[in-house]
Structure formats: C-alpha cells, structure tokens
Structure 1
Amino acid sequence: MSFVEIRGLSKKFGQNVVLNDINLDIRKGDVVAIIGPSGTGKSTLLRALNLLEKPEKGEVSIEGNVYDLTTKSAKKKLELRKSTEMVFQQFNLFKNKTALENVMEGLLIVKRMKKEEARKRAINQLEKVGMGDRLNHYPRHLSGGQQQRVAIARALAMEPKMLLMDEPTSALDPELVSEVLLTVKKVAQEGNTILLVTHEMNFVKKVANRVIFLENGKVVADGTPKEIFENPSNDRLKEFLVKIHMLEGLEYTI
C-alpha cells in the first residue's frame, strides 16, 4: 500500500471538467511536482485534497486512513485537514499577528497545544526557514519571500503527513523567488511528502523525484525528472516543453 492513494478524483465547474478520474499513488517522502498548461486542474487537484474545493467524486487514503472527498461530515473533514497542510500562492497570514503568532495559531486552536509548547514549536520551525530573527515582525514589515517562509513554517508546525504547495513563488518579485525555493528544497530534503504545483521547471528538475504532467484534467505523463524533461514519450508533453524552452524544438519566427 502506498503512503497516499488518490482514487477517482473528478471535479467540474459547470460543464467544464477540470479533473477527470485522477488516480495517483504517492510514496512516503516523495516530492511530486505537478506541471502543465494553465487551466488544466493543477491547483484544483491540491485544493480538492484539502477540501477547499468539493469534487463530484473521489477519495484519498493517507497512511491507511480513507477519506471520502465528497463527505459532509465536519469530523472527517477536520481529520483530513489535520493530515494535509496547504501553502498558498498568496501567503494568507493574519495581518494583525506577528510571524510567531501566525505560526502558533493553528497549534493553539486546532491542535489545542499549551501555549508554551506551541511557542517552542513555532520558534523552532521559524528558525528552520531562516526567520528566527523576525519572530515579532508583522506581515507588513516582511518582504513577500519572508511572508511565504512564515507560511511554510506555519504549515510544517502542524506536522502534516502531506504538504500541498500551490505555486509558492508565483506572487513574488523575481529577486525573492530563490530564497523561497531554497526553503522548499530544505523541506524536501528533510523527508517531507510534498505535492507541489509550480512553473519553476529548473527547480523541479533539482528537487522533485517525480513529475506529473496534467492535460485537460488527466494525467498524461508520469515519471522521473530525467524521463519527463530529457526523454518525454508523450507528444503533448514534448510540445509543452518546447513552448517553455525546456526542450529543443522548432524555431518559431514572428
């Protein structure tokens, strides 16, 4: 049995099928990058696994615990959300709380930890992402990259079984991207199971051990970075890689 098993995940917006019967098996410690053109369901897949979007059908098993993704049970929803944590494009920090308070919030409210224990864990995670000297800073006093690192610390402090990262660098100025990518790389190297949506292909090649290419809501290619980027077997994947300059192809003139 795989660490995470996704079965029959399907989602529509009106008549538009965004996810079409997705089935995936993920091993513990895998760093799985999801790539593909815009509008093909990458972010929706992550949001459905965290129940931020309700699919028409589908289930996920995490470490043997099976969750119906269409459930109406508040208890089951909470159980699943305790197993997964989301890092968003926009950092979603509480503006009136410091970096430390932002990380402590979930520990106090969701995990019901004692304040001193929550504080120690929050400080530890903030130090891990290089934010130990910004504990008492409010989001308005932090750069975008710093805010995203606080958001990553917040997610890790909850000790999720799977970390969902939805284009964590897309809202950042170019010069701030590298600091967040280095943080994600460190998180990956610590053995966390990560499902990552990103357009940073060179980063994917260095950090992910598996790459999934989504097209029209379906998995059309699944392999190692070497297989996907250096020896793509799918014509649509080849076309995509040529367009984003990750594969040599036809020269286009305008």
Structure 2
Amino acid sequence: MIEVKNISKKFNNNVVLNGIDLNINKGDVVAIIGPSGTGKSTFLRCLNRLEKPENGSITIDDLNVDLAHSDKKSLVELRKKTSMVFQGFNLFSKKTALENVMEGLIVVKKMDKKKAEEIAREQLKNVGLLEWANHYPAHLSGGQQQRVAIARALAMEPELLLLDEPTSALDPELVGEVLDTIKKAANEGYTMLLVSHEMNFVKNVATRVIFLENGKIIEDGPPKEVFNHPKSDRVREFFAKINRMVEPEYSI
C-alpha cells in the first residue's frame, strides 16, 4: 500500500493542489486525467519532491516522508523507491543509452559498475534497445529516447513508477512503441501513477482512473465506470468535448 496524504501546493496565490489524499495498492495502474493546467504533473513532481509542496506526506512500505519538511537523507530513500519518466526524456546528452540507464543505479543505489551495467543491459533488452546501448541520445529517435528513459526508471526497481505524459513530446507515429513498453511494464506488475491524454490507452491499461480539476479529485473509479458512467457533470462535459474532437465534422 502506498498512502498519500494532504498534498497541497500553490504558486504565488494560485492553489494548484488542494489537500489531495490517495491510496494506491501494489500493482495498481492509476491514471490521472483532466484538463490541462489542473495540477496533474505538479502532483507527480511533488510525490518525489521535484516540487516542494506546502503540505503533504507519502508512505511507501515502512518509509514515511514529510514532503514539505524532508531532509536530504529522506529524499534519497524516497527516490530509491520511486522513479519518474518525464515528458521530455531528460537523458544525459553526453552519456550513451547504457550509461543513462546505469546512472541512477550507481549514484542513488551506490551499485558497482559491473552490476549496474548488467542490470542496464537487461532493461535495454526489455524495451527492445539493447543493440542501441552505445548510441547517444542525439542518434536516437524520440520514441527510442523515451524507451531508454523508461528502461532507466525500471532499472531502479521502483515501488512506484511515475509517468508524466510520457508520449506528449513524440510524433504520432512514435507513440505506439512507447505505449507498448508501458503496457508491458504494467503487465509485469509495476505499480504506476500515470498522467496521460491518451484516453484509449488509459481505458485499456489503467486499473483505476482519477479525474483531477482545480486541485481536487472529483472522480475516482475503474475505467469503465469513469468513462462510461461518470458521476460528475464536469467529467461528463469533459468527455463530451473529447468525443466531439474525435468525431468527423462532416460526412460525405
């Protein structure tokens, strides 16, 4: 069980997260959806303290971290249990794919290079990029770079994998290969918190869907319930707008 309590965050006078509580069971794939600018990415960044919230805590197994007042030691322990995949890949440009995957194992987990390389090669193999191990990010497509980023995250064997719109920076033809990689990790039992605008993917992969708006959770349930029978008028309105966008504007 992962327990998140009272996450609150504001930028100047703008309240972005307003006391969010969330429990996540092991193996859950929890998708966070909602309109842009409602705090979805900020929520993920607060959970591994890339953003400092005004209030809030996270408990993973026997580790409890006060995210508003945590010390350096607590943050290191938190980042041993969480990994994040970003919108923009965030790979080191002067390190190869292999070295990028090894980095966290060596720096955060203090693993020796031989063991780190063994794990990194295995993870690159899992995402179908072992033959690209010695290539630099500049020589990889966007989809390949994001798959390296996913391999880097999985190499840490996280208790919680955070994915922040992992396909938003990709050309449409590259989206599928990244979604397939995430789906494979989900099928292997990783616990995930996923922010995504790929609604069909969310329907097929998530075990639970959360709708976030104005810093609060206004809908929470299984994908079929949230997508097909939303309880909130606001969520119904959101899906109606999405459906209008994908339907043809004219017919012949």
The TM tier, using the shorter chain, reads over 0.9
Equivalent residue number for residue 162 of structure 2: 164
2-structure distance, mates of 1:247, 1:91:
28
- Tell me if the contact between 1:241 and 1:247 (Cα under 8 Å) persists in the aligned partners: no
1-structure distance, mates of 2:119, 2:67:
30
AA aligned opposite 2:209:
V
**Shift, 1:156, TM fit:** 0.5
Specify the SS of the correspondent of 1:245.
helix
Specify the SS of the correspondent of 1:125.
helix
- Tell me if the contact between 1:242 and 1:248 (Cα under 8 Å) persists in the aligned partners: no
Aligned counterpart in structure 2 of residue 112 of structure 1, from 110, 113, 118: 110
Specify the SS of the correspondent of 2:162.
strand
Equivalent residue number for residue 55 of structure 2: 57
1-structure distance, mates of 2:244, 2:217:
19
Equivalent residue number for residue 38 of structure 2: 40
Equivalent residue number for residue 190 of structure 1: 188
1-structure distance, mates of 2:110, 2:101:
13
Name stretches of at least 5 consecutive residues in structure 2 with no aligned partner: none
Aligned pairs for 1:153-232 (under 5 A) are 153-232=151-230
2-structure distance, mates of 1:239, 1:119:
49
Aligned counterpart in structure 2 of residue 137 of structure 1, from 128, 135, 138: 135
**Shift, 1:248, TM fit:** 11
Post-superposition CA distance 1:94-136 (Å, at most 9, x none): 1111100110111111111111111110000000011111111
AA aligned opposite 1:132:
L
Post-superposition CA distance 1:39-98 (Å, at most 9, x none): 101000000001011000011111132110112411011111111111000011111111
AA aligned opposite 1:44:
T
Name stretches of at least 5 consecutive residues in structure 1 with no aligned partner: none
TM-score normalised according to structure 1 size: 0.95
- Tell me if the contact between 1:5 and 1:61 (Cα under 8 Å) persists in the aligned partners: yes
Aligned pairs for 1:227-246 (under 5 A) are 227-245=225-243
Equivalent residue number for residue 5 of structure 1: 3
- Tell me if the contact between 1:18 and 1:40 (Cα under 8 Å) persists in the aligned partners: yes
Specify the SS of the correspondent of 2:243.
coil
Post-superposition CA distance 1:180-227 (Å, at most 9, x none): 000000010000000000000000000000000001000000000000
Q: Does 1:121 align with 2:119?
A: yes
1-structure distance, mates of 2:230, 2:153:
34
Q: Which runs of 4+ in 1 moved over 2 A?
A: 246-249
Post-superposition CA distance 1:151-197 (Å, at most 9, x none): 00001101111000000000000000000000000010000000000
Aligned counterpart in structure 1 of residue 15 of structure 2, from 14, 17, 22: 17
TM-score normalised according to structure 2 size: 0.96
AA aligned opposite 1:217:
G
**Shift, 1:246, TM fit:** 8.0
AA aligned opposite 1:150:
V
